């Protein structure tokens, strides 16, 4: 079926079902074009809570749809492709986290939203890339177990006097952006501002002018006086900025910076989701209630 026809059908079904489509910045262009809201993990959580819709179709990966369902249990939340996951979220299990908690009984657990509902339920508070430093500094404990992203955790540890116990998780997309890639680009484009996502390695973040969430990167491009930018995150954001600001120059960190899980979401899968009400994301109530506490605490301090 032609894209335009699929888009028209999606629009009609959205109205019929009182549904909205929430999308992350890393999904395909045509997917973002049918979304009611496109944003970073924090703004997507807030959009899910604030929406008056009965149905949310989540164009993103599993933990994002799960967070929407935890926060808004009265809404039906669908993930169009059930195996669109975040490999980093699978790098921490409840069992392993409990063992770590036993080793550090005085530590609070700060859990990056890129994690399962069960891990969130074991945590004191969640964070996203947009608020990780503020979240860690908002808690009373002097010690923090930070799961699962070691790179985001290391970045936070530079902005707090708390002792941070890092977890060995990482995002393959950001961790594969190398210092050499960035030094090469900076040599070629010495006037370019380098905007990096905090999931990048510490040696890459050392080279950044600004370390920001995906929404933070978009806002920095909007307000900056610079004409050139190296976009240190998944390549879709570079493509989007290039289209939006044709008079500015953008450089991707590497051709390999692709999140193949985000690309699993297609227009066809969104149409199927709305037509057949698939695939519903559900969290067992006893887990949901605890996970919601950790997410609510984060949203409270994020304003």
Q: Which of residues 96-115 bind ligand 13P (CB under 6 A)?
A: 114
Strand 249-251 to 19-24 pairing: unpaired
Q: List the single partner that 32 binds among ligand 13P, ligand SF4, none, CB under 5 to 8 Å by kind.
A: none
DSSP 128: -
Q: Which of the choices ligand SF4, ligand 13P, none does residue 214 contact, using the CB cut-off of 5 to 8 A by kind? A: ligand 13P
Give Cβ neighbours of residue 262 (< 8 Å, ≥ 6 apart).
24, 26, 27, 28, 60, 61, 84, 234, 236
Strand, coil or helix: what is 142? coil
* 69 interacts with, out of ligand SF4, ligand 13P, none, CB within 5 to 8 A per kind: none
Cβ atoms of 219 and 241 closer than 8 Å: no
Minimum Å gap between C-beta 184 and ligand 13P is 22
Which one of 171, 196, 230, 241 is in contact with ligand 13P (CB under 6 A)?
Answer: 171
Q: How far is the CB of 190 from ligand SF4 (least distance, A)?
A: 28
Question: Does residue 72 belong to the site contacting ligand 13P (CB under 6 A)?
Answer: no
Tokens encoding 293: 């506490």
The site for ligand SF4 (CB under 6 A) is made up of: 26, 61, 86-88, 114, 171, 173, 199, 234, 259, 261-262
Decide whether 40 or 66 has the Cβ nearer to ligand 13P. 40
Count CB atoms within 10 A of the CB of residue 54.
12
Distance of closest approach, residue 15 Cβ to ligand SF4, in angstroms? 30
Q: Among residues 115, 126, 118, 128, which one has the least CA distance to residue 44?
A: 128
């Amino acid at each position: 079926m032609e894209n335009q026809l699929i888009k028209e059908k999606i629009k009609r079904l959205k109205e019929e079902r009182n549904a909205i489509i929430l999308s992350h910045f890393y999904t395909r262009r045509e997917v973002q074009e049918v979304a009611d809201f496109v944003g970073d993990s924090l703004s997507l959580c807030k959009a899910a809570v604030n929406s008056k819709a009965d149905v949310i179709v989540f164009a993103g990966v599993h933990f994002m749809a799960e967070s929407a369902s935890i926060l808004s249990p009265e809404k039906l939340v669908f993930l169009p492709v059930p195996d669109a996951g975040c490999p980093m979220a699978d790098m921490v299990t409840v069992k392993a986290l409990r063992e770590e908690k036993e080793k550090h009984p005085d530590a609070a657990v700060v859990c990056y939203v890129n994690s399962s509902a069960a891990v969130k339920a074991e945590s004191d508070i969640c964070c996203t890339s947009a608020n990780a430093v503020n979240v860690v500094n908002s808690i009373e404990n002097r010690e923090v177990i930070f799961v699962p992203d070691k790179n985001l955790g290391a970045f936070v540890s530079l902005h707090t006097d708390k002792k941070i116990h890092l977890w060995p998780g990482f995002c393959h997309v950001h961790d594969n952006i190398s210092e050499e890639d960035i030094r090469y680009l900076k040599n070629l484009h010495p006037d370019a501002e380098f905007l990096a996502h905090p999931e990048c390695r510490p040696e890459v973040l050392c080279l950044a002018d600004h370390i920001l969430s995906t929404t933070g990167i978009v806002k920095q491009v909007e307000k900056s006086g610079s004409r050139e930018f190296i976009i240190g995150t998944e390549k879709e954001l570079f493509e989007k900025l290039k289209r939006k600001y044709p008079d500015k120059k953008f450089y991707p960190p590497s051709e390999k910076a692709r999140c193949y899980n985000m690309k699993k979401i297609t227009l066809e899968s969104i149409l199927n989701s709305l037509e057949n009400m698939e695939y519903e994301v559900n969290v067992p109530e006893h887990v949901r209630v605890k996970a919601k506490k950790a997410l609510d605490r984060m949203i409270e301090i994020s304003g």
